């Protein structure tokens, strides 16, 4: 019981992550050391974990990506039960057997080829372009843009934004199952001793008074 209480106190003392709900169209940026570039549009109703607050941009994490959003997004004030999308993807159109994967939303720099057999996860729509930012494969991943002309997006469903349920406190052990500490008396033993004492004292006084009367009568 003491160990569980100690763990709970330590958990509360640790800094809790701050969560930002995506409640409106929000670009996800990357920083190359000199400029911020919008990578894709974040799916609404999901969350971002704050890594560091900044004056113009906040560094955040989303799924397996670390990037930035513009400062000023209000925090949720609680830990969401469902933080990130677990579904969503892209499928190649039936009219194509393969498509190019690009490193830029302008679809000018080819970095690979995607086939219908590849596993494709959708991060979000490209910003200002008719394309999708995706993750290809099951590891190691390839990331880039697919043209909307060659693929169809499958968006994740609307998220349940409820908070994580608080953990139930550990139930206190029953009195019958408690083991008294060494040298300590249980509550039941204390009550029993008090009752014995309360009954013994009047009996002793009665015997004493009767003995005194008999002694006085013999004189």
Are residues 111 and 148 located together in one domain of the fold? yes
Write a three-state SS string for the chain.
Answer: CHHHHHHHHHHHHCCCCCEEECCCCCEEEEECCCCEEEEEECCCCCEEEEEECCCCEEEEEECCEEEEEECCCCCCCCCECCCCCCCCEEEECCCCCEEEEECCCCCCCEEEEEECCCCEEEEEECCCCCEEEEEECCCCCEEEEEECCCEEEECCCCCCCCECCCCCCCCCCCHHHCCCCCCCCCHHHHHHHHHHHHHHHHHHHHHHHHHHHHHHHHC
Q: Provide the CATH number for the domain around residue 152.
A: 2.30.30.40
Are 91 and 74 members of one domain?
A: no
Per-residue tens of pLDDT for the chain, all 219 residues: 555 544 444 344 456 789 999 999 999 999 999 999 999 999 999 999 999 999 999 999 999 999 999 999 999 999 999 999 999 999 999 999 999 999 999 999 999 999 999 999 999 999 999 999 999 998 899 999 999 999 999 999 999 999 998 875 545 555 444 444 444 455 555 445 544 555 555 555 544 544 554 445 544
How many domains is the chain partitioned into structurally?
A: 2
Domain of residue 152, residue span: 87-156
> Is 115 inside any structural domain?
yes
Single pTM value for the model: 0.70
């Amino acid at each position: 019981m003491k160990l569980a209480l100690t763990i709970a106190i330590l958990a509360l003392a640790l800094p809790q992550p701050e969560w930002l709900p995506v409640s409106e169209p929000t670009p996800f940026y990357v920083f190359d050391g000199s400029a911020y570039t919008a990578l894709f549009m974040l799916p609404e109703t999901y969350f971002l974990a704050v890594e560091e607050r900044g004056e113009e941009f906040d560094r955040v994490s989303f799924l397996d990506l670390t990037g930035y959003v513009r400062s000023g997004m209000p925090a949720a004030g609680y830990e969401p039960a469902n933080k990130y999308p677990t579904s969503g993807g892209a499928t190649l159109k039936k009219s194509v057997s393969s498509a190019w994967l690009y490193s830029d939303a302008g679809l000018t720099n080819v970095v690979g080829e995607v086939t219908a057999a590849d596993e494709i996860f959708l991060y979000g729509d490209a910003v200002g372009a008719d394309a999708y930012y995706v993750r290809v494969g099951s590891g190691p991943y390839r990331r880039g843009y697919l043209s909307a002309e060659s693929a169809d997006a499958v968006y994740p469903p609307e998220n349940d934004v409820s908070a994580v349920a608080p953990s139930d406190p550990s139930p206190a052990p029953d009195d019958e199952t408690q083991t008294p500490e060494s040298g300590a008396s249980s509550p039941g033993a204390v009550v029993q001793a008090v009752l014995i004492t309360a009954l013994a004292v009047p009996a002793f006084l009665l015997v004493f008074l009767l003995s005194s009367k008999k002694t006085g009568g013999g004189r």
